[in-house]
Amino acid sequence: MTRTITRIAAASLLLVCAALFAAPARAEIKTQWIDYSEGGTALQGYLAYDNAVTGKRPGVLLLHRRDGMSDLTLQNARMYAQQGYVVFAADIFGKDVRPKSVPEQQAQSALYSKDRPLMRARALAGLDVLRANPMVEPGKIAIVGYCFGGEVAIELAETGAPILGTVSIHGSFRGFPPEAAKNIKGRVLILHGSEDPVAPMSEVVALLDQLRAANVRWELNLYSGTQHGFSTPKGPAEERANEESKFATARFFKDVFGL
């Protein structure tokens, strides 16, 4: 009897996952690089969408990790496009700025963590490109950021940008003015590793306190035994966190978009 119930539960979970990640019939993911600029700096973002979908649809702004417009960023953009959204991976660092080594990535991301107005300006420039796309329903936009991009996602939300939902995946949460959380317009989902040494639980709790004080609707998924950067997993716990974070993000987007 127990085995039968377990099989039924597993089958039910598979059906839910299939519904969340199901691509429309005859899906054909189209991609292209988009040149734009901010403050005189040349930027190059990556657009992905399902050409089989007709009419306007929700948009997702994707904010990259500290490795910039990497292959993983492009892969994630296509993944969200397969869910039926127009996805724009915004370029925060600048066209042709592709840090390779960890020290280069740390130095590049630190420039923006120390210059929040510049971080906001680069994120808002990407949001403007997405909102101007004729395939996008401007009132239905959400953002998702990984690692450094998770920090940028919260920073962007705290500008009061007109977005329905914000997802931070193994982000960091330093330097946010406590009063800025009141500007957030939509809901917030934080997907985080419990053993993250880059953004320890004290940072997460501090952000949650700010969100609670501002009456922002938030969710936290905390993954046990998981450190930073689990979107490139280094063991079973991080592989689980990576897969569960994909499921949680897909569900969150459907929820905030009313789909």
pLDDT of residue 15: 46
Rg over CA atoms, the chain = 18
pLDDT band for position 56 (cuts 50, 70, 90): very high
pLDDT band for position 73 (cuts 50, 70, 90): very high
- Using a pLDDT cut of 90, give the percent of the chain over it: 85
Question: Token digits for 150?
Answer: 């998770």
For residues 168 and 228, the answer to whether their CB atoms sit within 8 Å is no
**pTM here?**
0.90
Mind listing the pLDDT tens digit for each residue in 151-198? 999 999 999 999 999 999 999 998 899 899 999 999 999 999 999 999
Closest CA to 69 of 47, 41, 50: 47
Task: Report how many domains make up the chain.
Answer: 1
Hunting for tokens 């500007």 — which residue is that?
Answer: 183
Query: Does any domain span residue 1?
Result: no
- Count other C-beta atoms under 10 Å from residue 232's C-beta: 14
Query: Does any domain span residue 109?
Result: yes
String of DSSP letters for 30-76: EEEEEEEEETTEEEEEEEEEETT--S-EEEEEEE--TT-S-HHHHHH
Q: Which residues contact 9 (CB under 8 A, 6 or more apart)?
A: none
3-state secondary structure of 135: coil
Query: Does any domain span residue 18?
Result: no
pLDDT of residue 24: 52
The mean pLDDT value for 103-121 works out to 95
Q: Residue 18 to residues 6, 21, 29, 239, 258: CA-CA distances in angstroms?
A: 18, 5, 18, 19, 18
H or E stretch including 243? Answer: helix 236-257
**Comparison of pLDDT for 157 and 17, the residue scoring more:** 157
Query: Does any domain span residue 221?
Result: yes
Q: Which residues contact 27 (CB under 8 A, 6 or more apart)?
A: 50, 52, 82
- Its domain, for residue 38, covers 27-257
Query: Does any domain span residue 198?
Result: yes
pLDDT band for position 259 (cuts 50, 70, 90): confident
Query: Does any domain span residue 7?
Result: no
Query: Does any domain span residue 43?
Result: yes
Query: Does any domain span residue 75?
Result: yes
Q: Residue 84: which CATH number?
A: 3.40.50.1820
Closest CA to 68 of 121, 112, 19, 4: 112
For residues 252 and 165, the answer to whether their CB atoms sit within 8 Å is yes
